[in-house]
């Protein structure tokens, strides 16, 4: 899984002189529970302020798709995506939210932030 | 596309002595994806504090309509509209939000602000 | 239209020693577009902290009804109501919000505030 | 109506060492309009941080029921309840919100706060 | 009931270098009213910033299930869970919210926080 | 309670040559539980095809208000209203639906019909 | 009011060989209560199967607008519109539904049908 | 479990001359999964046309509560309740619907009817 | 516009021995008002029982896109699509529904059916 | 894929003397588009009247999971599931509904029925 970030493509931010917020929401995220082997489902939300680069939408979709058959915990999904996107985009700010469907009646949300820093 | 702002008409702000917030929402925005040529759909929201001028509603509609057959990315739509409205209105504050319909299961939101400054 | 505020009646605030917030919402506001002569529809919200006086509910309804056949722009409706209510109530704080129904697919919101001041 | 607060019963706060927020919502509040004699309906929300005492739930219900045939204005309902609960609970913080059903198309909300003070 | 916390299992936080927020929601919480013996129903929400440990999801479910036949007041449920989770997780921050179903037309919410402290 | 129907006033049906359906909904119905003395709340819906007479709206409101302090079961409320309206209107068709708020977590609906007959 | 139907314009049905259903909904209908002089608000829905003619949309809007300052009862509004549309369109089928906003807490719906007949 | 129906109490139907429909909804039903021992949650709806007897509401609540610690499948819950209510009420018609909360992402509904027969 | 149906592609129905219903919904339909030149927006729903052929999804999208700059009335859009799909699919049953966005406050729905016939 | 039905397990219907309806809904169905290789997402609903056998819930979940990496069209998914369930359950009635998420703005529903027959 360590090379997954290579799926992500970028394009040049056309408006680098101002801060603005880009949000991408994938309501069809799925991976596999590492304990039971059953599929997990959830919604992943990416919010970021770009610096020099923006993430290309189609490659982001393929990146999310690549988790489809991985065994990974909720807490790790969200932190892992944050690390990959920070590596690839070096953004001014980034936040990842994972909202996961109920299991055993109970559902979970995990939120991680990369704090604002002006380049 | 550089002359698009000329579609926008203005009228004099009748209450220039106070700050107040005007919001216009166009839930029927459509343009064309520059990569695939397929139509994109979304909702554009304009929020601003007028200084000397307000934007005339019908001309704003025609301005939005003018994107109908343009090939343009989400990030550019929102920044482009901000630049045009700032040029024409010279407002005290302005914010543009674009919420775009799902493509490949994933949807996007882009938000740009022109920061508050009292004239 | 300049004498419209005379419709508004008041009663003495029974709890002048404390600040508290009163909200009245009229979801059935209607006036006439000054350009086309067609009816406009919207929702007007009044929020205020009373000082010595509260607005009487029935008179407020009649005040809103009095706009029924007036030709007036969205921006003016909201500022006009603010001015009248401030004149009649001399409140500690007052805010008027007008949310107007879609025209040509697009809808608008106008918000005006009278800033807090303790008498 | 001055003795209505005697209906309210209390029990000892089992966790007085920490601040925590208790909310009780009565969506079935009804009283009588003092002008027309017609019934009024609304939702009353109590939010408070207890100090030494908590209000007993059943007695709070009976307290709300006791307004059923009283003629009383919206603004007074909410302030009256605040005064009674402060007298009986001596809480660290208390807020009362009354949301009243539409009359003549228009509806109202009244909010009163007893500001935070640590005993 | 004093040993209930022993049901809770933990695993090592894989990302201890950053603060991030984990939320678990149990909309199927049930206990018994200590006064009437009737069942109570509600939704319990846990929000926390982990330090060295995260709570294991399945054990959390069993922990919630263990209240099924306990007679316990709303205010106590929420404070009790806070104390147990703080003891077991020693988190940087923790908040417990209990939203309980209507009884006699009235419903209640109780919120308790363990304030942020960096280890 | 036997004379309650006298509150109801009628006016002549202006379109007796055709069948058409009139619905009146009172979402603010309240009466008293005959067992506990506690207030009950619910929504009453009247649907009817008029013959010679229509029920006057304001008198219908007063008729509903008259149950405010009556001790009466859900099943009886709905059947009682049906009998009174049939007596006063002699309609071609009439249906009464009572939807009552939760008590002890459980809520109830009662529906009674007076079958269609052309005069 | 007897000449109101003259506002309605028609155009030729381009598909007279088949039955199909056209619905027009006006959620911004307003007239005046003939008893109190207060404005009434509601939603009017027209459903019809055209024969030789369809109603022109803009003229239908003006037709609805023409009720703005008329004093007329709910039951009459709906029957009156049915009669006018039947006169002008001679449709194969037509149904008019009026859903009116709450007055005194109670709201009303009136439904009239012109039964199906093939020309 | 065979004697559970004895919890149910009845009262005489006051309107036996007409058919009418009574619905009781318990959104707080809970039992135990016979395979895993984990709690199940769901909503049970009873719809019936009474003959000589109606079910008393409080006893119905206690009857539902009695399943709290029983291990029983969804299909059996609904059929079992139907059999008990038919035995006790001998109704003209009865229908039981069980809507159960998601388990493993999947949720279930079971519906059983006792067909209409006039006594 | 007469050759538009050539955009539609088909594939062989794999289950011709049974009747089953296929629904495709395009919530992003847009064309142009032939009177004003302004864009119209709406949702088109296709429901059909296939005989020998099914419509290919991507070609259906391109077919809908082809209306983007056509001036055409609501009533014609829906009938036109029905005729094209019947020509290409020769289905056992087909229904087209067009729900169009508000213009001047009023919105419209048009429904056309091709009646069931077994081949 | 031909042996997939072997995943399905059954248990004896305990109430074979009456017809009753069992519904299972899987909102987390996912398979792969055979043309693009991209994942598809949707909701599958099974409704059936059992004869001698009921489908075991956990095995049904595993059956749905088994489509996770299969390339298969919407129309085939739904017909395929119908055939497998009919083979395994020999039910009195069975219906399968597939509601699939938007692709290119457009979404689809496919419904197949196995008609009622009493054994």
- A59-91 pLDDT, tens per residue? 999 999 999 999 999 999 999 999 999 999 999
Do A74 and A57 contact (CB within 8 A), yes or no? no
pLDDT of residue B42: 97
CA dihedral I7, I12, I15, I21 (to 10 degrees): 10
d(CA C84, CA C72): 15
Please indicate whether, in this complex, the C-beta atoms of J68 and A39 are within 8 angstroms of each other: yes
I77 CB contacts (<8 Å, ≥6 apart)?
I29, I31, I42, I44, I67, I98, I110
**pLDDT band at J16, cuts 50/70/90?**
very high
pLDDT of residue A22: 98
Do C72 and C31 contact (CB within 8 A), yes or no? yes
d(CA E85, CA A79): 23
pLDDT of residue I119: 64
F52 CB contacts (<8 Å, ≥6 apart)?
F12, F13, F16, F90, F119
Share of chain A above pLDDT 70, in %: 98
* H-only helix segments in chain C: 57-65, 74-89
Share of chain A above pLDDT 90, in %: 92
E59 to chain A, closest Cα gap in Å? 11
pLDDT of residue E119: 64
DSSP secondary structure string for all residues of C27-58: EEEEEE-TTT--EEEEEEEEEEE-SSEEE-HH
Cα–chain-centroid distance for residue J18? 23
Residue C103 DSSP SS3: strand
d(CA A40, CA E57): 14
Q: Angle at Cα C107 formed by Cα C104 and Cα C111, nearest 5°?
A: 150
ipTM score assigned to the predicted complex? 0.94
Whole-structure pTM value: 0.95
- B14-50 pLDDT, tens per residue? 999 999 999 999 999 999 999 899 999 999 999 999 9
Q: Is A77 exposed, middle or buried (0-12, 13-18, 19+ CB in 10 A)?
A: buried
Q: Which is higher by pLDDT, A89 or H35?
A: A89
Q: Which is higher by pLDDT, J113 or H105?
A: J113
Average pLDDT, chain G: 95
G41 to chain C, closest Cα gap in Å? 7
Cα A103 to Cα A95, H101, H107, H119: the distances in Å are 25, 11, 12, 47
pLDDT of residue J1: 66
Q: Angle at Cα H20 formed by Cα H16 and Cα H24, nearest 5°?
A: 110
pLDDT of residue H2: 74
d(CA F72, CA F64): 13
* H-only helix segments in chain F: 57-65, 74-89
Please indicate whether, in this complex, the C-beta atoms of H75 and J14 are within 8 angstroms of each other: yes
List, by residue number, the catalytic residues of A: 33, 40
- F54-98 pLDDT, tens per residue? 999 999 999 999 999 999 999 999 999 999 999 999 999 999 999
d(CA D57, CA D77): 19
- G69-107 pLDDT, tens per residue? 999 999 999 999 999 999 999 999 999 999 999 988 899
Phi-psi region of D104 (alpha: psi -120 to 50; beta: other; left: phi over 0): left
pLDDT above 80: residue G2: no
Please indicate whether, in this complex, the C-beta atoms of D109 and C18 are within 8 angstroms of each other: no
pLDDT above 70: residue H119: no
Do C87 and B42 contact (CB within 8 A), yes or no? no
d(CA I86, CA I8): 11
Nearest to C15 among D79, D104, D107 (CB): D79
Do C104 and B61 contact (CB within 8 A), yes or no? yes
Kindly tell me the sign of the dihedral angle through the C-alpha atoms of I67, I68, I70, I73: positive
Residue A3 DSSP SS3: coil
Single out the catalytic residue among C12, C17, C19, C33: C33
Nearest to E101 among H28, H65, H68 (CB): H28
D71 to chain E, closest Cα gap in Å? 22
pLDDT of residue C119: 64
pLDDT of residue A47: 98
pLDDT of residue J119: 65
d(CA H45, CA H95): 8
C13 CB contacts (<8 Å, ≥6 apart)?
C50, C51, C52, C53, C54, D75
Which has the closest alpha carbon to F50: G78, J60, H38?
G78
pLDDT of residue D58: 94
Q: How many CB atoms lie within 10 A of CB G33?
A: 15
State residue B41 phi and psi, 5-degree precision.
-130, 150
pLDDT above 70: residue A119: no
Do F64 and H4 contact (CB within 8 A), yes or no? no
DSSP structure class, residue H62: H
**Chain I residues within an 8 Å CB radius of C104:** 38, 103
Which has the closest alpha carbon to B11: B116, B94, B88, B118?
B88
Residues belonging to chain G with any Cβ–Cβ distance to chain F shorter than 8 Å? 75-76, 78-79, 102-113
Please give the residue of chain B at the shortest CA–CA distance from J101.
B105
For chain D, which residues score pLDDT lower than 70?
A: 1, 119
Chain B interface, best mutation among A17, A24, A93, by max B CB count within 10 A:
A24
State residue H3 phi and psi, 5-degree precision.
-105, 10
State residue E14 phi and psi, 5-degree precision.
-80, -10
**Chain C residues within an 8 Å CB radius of D98:** none
Q: Is D19 a catalytic residue?
A: no
**Chain F residues within an 8 Å CB radius of G75:** 13-15, 20, 22, 54
d(CA I38, CA B61): 10
| DSSP bridge partners of A12 | A53
Q: How many CB atoms lie within 10 A of CB F62?
A: 14
pLDDT above 90: residue C1: no
d(CA D83, CA A79): 49
d(CA J95, CA J79): 10
Single out the catalytic residue among C12, C19, C40, C54: C40
Cα–chain-centroid distance for residue G79? 8
I2 CB contacts (<8 Å, ≥6 apart)?
none
SS3 string, chain J, reads CCCHHHHCCEEECCCCCCCEEEEEEEEEEEEECCCCCCEEEEEEEEEEECCCEEECHHHHHHHHHCCCCCECCHHHHHHHHHHHHHHHHCCCEEEEEEEEEEECCEEEEEEEEECCCCC
CA dihedral D80, D84, D89, D92 (to 10 degrees): 30
Counting Cα atoms < 13 Å in the Cβ hemisphere of J106 gives 22
d(CA A114, CA A95): 6
**Chain B residues within an 8 Å CB radius of I28:** 30, 39, 41, 101
Chain I interface, best mutation among J81, J105, J113, by max I CB count within 10 A:
J105
- When pLDDT is averaged across residues J67-91 and rounded to a whole number, the result is 97
pLDDT of residue J76: 96
- A4-27 pLDDT, tens per residue? 999 999 999 999 999 999 999 999
Average pLDDT, chain F: 96
Which has the closest alpha carbon to C110: F6, B46, F97?
B46
DSSP secondary structure string for all residues of chain D: -TTGGGG--EEE-S-TTS-EEEEEEEEEEEEE-TTT--EEEEEEEEEEE-SSEEE-HHHHHHHHHTTTT-B--HHHHHHHHHHHHHHHH--SEEEEEEEEEEETTEEEEEEEEE-----
Residues belonging to chain H with any Cβ–Cβ distance to chain J shorter than 8 Å? 75-76, 78-79, 102-113
**Chain E residues within an 8 Å CB radius of H65:** 38-39
């Amino acid at each position: 899984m360590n090379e997954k970030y290579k799926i992500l493509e970028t394009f040049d931010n056309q408006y680098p002189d101002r801060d603005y917020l880009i949000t991408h929401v994938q309501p069809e995220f799925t991976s596999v529970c590492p304990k039971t082997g059953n599929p997990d489902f959830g919604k992943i939300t990416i919010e970021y302020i770009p610096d020099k680069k923006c993430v290309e939408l189609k490659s982001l979709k393929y990146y999310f798709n690549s988790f489809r058959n991985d065994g990974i915990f909720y807490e790790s999904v969200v932190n892992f995506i944050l690390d990959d996107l920070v590596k690839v985009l070096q953004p001014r700010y980034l936040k990842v939210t994972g909202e996961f469907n109920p299991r055993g009646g109970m559902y979970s949300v995990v939120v991680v932030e990369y704090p604002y820093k002006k380049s």
